[in-house]
Amino acid sequence: MKNARALSLRGLSKSYLAGQNAVDSIDLEIQPGEFVSFLGPSGSGKTTTLMMIAGFSKPSSGEIAIGGRKIDSVEPYDRNIGMVFQNYALFPHMSVADNVGFPLRMRQVPKAQAAKRIADALAMVGLADFSGRKPAELSGGQQQRVALARALVFEPDVVLLDEPLGALDKALREQMQIELKRIHRELGVTMVYVTHDQGEAMAMSDRIAVFNRGRIEQIGSPAEVYARPQTRFVASFIGDSNLIEGVIGRGGSVDLPGFGSIAVGRGDLTPGTPVDVLLRPETIRLSKEERSPEDICFTVDEIVNYGDSFLVIGKSAGQELRARVPGLDMPALARGERCVMRWSKERVHIVPR
């Protein structure tokens, strides 16, 4: 898209009460055409940040710029930002075509040209035949598509999406994720996507900004955020995780009480520094055969069958651990049974405390 723009937030803060920041000094540079997710629990400041970008909420300090132009004092209706709302906010008294055409009417686009752009936008979301319907006559997924078409039809500089798939059921949500990705690829428009669903953020984003208590704890590609979380919060919020407390030892190794010492090549950390070690459940292997003296004993407490995989919850060295075992690799285990757990050392990630 010709008008994909960069979005930058510099020192953006919002406080409702003195001394309490809902959003606390956020710095973020979003590249033109990038798909960035704001991921975090409710109350983490992600929606407040989105509302400030849209212009519905006034920042207490900091600045917002689109394509290098400061927009802090620009009214929402002049920002040229497309927005998809959680409840879609389709105008119930207007037909689908009139809803999609609304931003074009506001911009005095000539009728014939507007008709073509409405038709194109509806075709893009697969609703070419629905232009005459009222929103109430559409399913939730279809309403979502209309809202998307309406937010895209006027070629906005940036598109903001506020938990747009929250109200849809799981199957439809996955389908819409793929579709949204396709549309993003085709148009190349800059998109900011707010969600509390980490799977959704992982599936769609170029980068994920993980929000917690009004701050961005980490920003990075989905793979990066998943494999190398920089804080305990990110490690536990994204994906299933085992966090084991340890201490940095000599020569870049980490000492885990009960599990021994593992070489992790972190010579940059001072020996004696307390850290957390992240062990993703799918990196743990369970086996009934003892092979080496290094093997660690694992006592099974609970087994949950998900069909394609098993979640095995158990204890090792007095610590509760969760292991995710693919269905085909699952050894014949029963509750209360003891087995052996292994993990690949290169998968171990150190999270500073």
Partner 1 sequence: MAVELTRPALAAEASALPARALLVTLLRPPVILYVPAALFLAAFFLVPLGLVVWMSVSDPEFGFGNYATFFASRYDLAVLARTFQTAFVVTLASLVFAYPIAYVAARRGGAVGGFLLGVVALSFWTSFLVRTYAWMVILGAKGPVVGLLTALGVSPPPRLLFTTFAATFAMAHMLVPFMVLALYAVMKRIDESYMRAAASLGARPLRAFLTVYFPQSLPGVVNGATLVFITCLGFYVTPTLIGSPQDKMIAGRIGQEIEQLLDFGAASATSMILLAAALALFTLYDRFFGLDRMWR
With respect to partner 1, which residue has the nearer C-beta, 16 or 56? 56
With respect to partner 1, which residue has the nearer C-beta, 103 or 314? 103
The contact set with partner 1 (CB under 8 A) reads 54-56, 75-83, 85-87, 89, 91-93, 102-103, 106-107, 134-136, 150-151, 154
Minimum separation from the CB atom of position 63 to partner 1 (A): 20
Minimum separation from the CB atom of position 49 to partner 1 (A): 16
3-class secondary structure for the chain?
A: CCCCCCEEEEEEEEEEECCEEEEEEEEEEECCCCEEEEECCCCCCHHHHHHHHHCCCCCCEEEEEECCEECCCCCHHHCCEEEECCCCCCCCCCCHHHHHHHHHHHCCCCHHHHHHHHHHHHHHCCCHHHCCCCHHHCCHHHHHHHHHHHHHCCCCCEEEEECCCCCCCHHHHHHHHHHHHHHHHHHCCEEEEEECCHHHHHHHCCEEEEEECCEEEEEECHHHHHHCCCCHHHHHHCCCCEEEEEEECHHHEEEECCCEEEECCCCCCCCCCEEEEEECHHHEEEECCCCCCCCEEEEEEEEEECCCEEEEEEEECCEEEEEEEEHHHCCCCCCCCEEEEEECHHHCEEEEC
With respect to partner 1, which residue has the nearer C-beta, 30 or 225? 30
Cβ(47)–Cβ(26) below 8 Å: no
Minimum separation from the CB atom of position 316 to partner 1 (A): 49
Minimum separation from the CB atom of position 165 to partner 1 (A): 16
Rounded Cα distance, 265 and 212, in Å = 29
Q: Which residues contact 268 (CB under 8 A, 6 or more apart)?
A: 252
Minimum separation from the CB atom of position 178 to partner 1 (A): 25
Rounded Cα distance, 13 and 52, in Å = 9
With respect to partner 1, which residue has the nearer C-beta, 55 or 214? 55
Minimum separation from the CB atom of position 64 to partner 1 (A): 15
Minimum separation from the CB atom of position 156 to partner 1 (A): 9
With respect to partner 1, which residue has the nearer C-beta, 134 or 342? 134
CA distances from 291 to 315, 338, 340, 343 (A): 20, 15, 9, 13
Minimum separation from the CB atom of position 114 to partner 1 (A): 13
With respect to partner 1, which residue has the nearer C-beta, 147 or 351? 147
Minimum separation from the CB atom of position 159 to partner 1 (A): 10
With respect to partner 1, which residue has the nearer C-beta, 16 or 91? 91
With respect to partner 1, which residue has the nearer C-beta, 112 or 136? 136
With respect to partner 1, which residue has the nearer C-beta, 87 or 175? 87
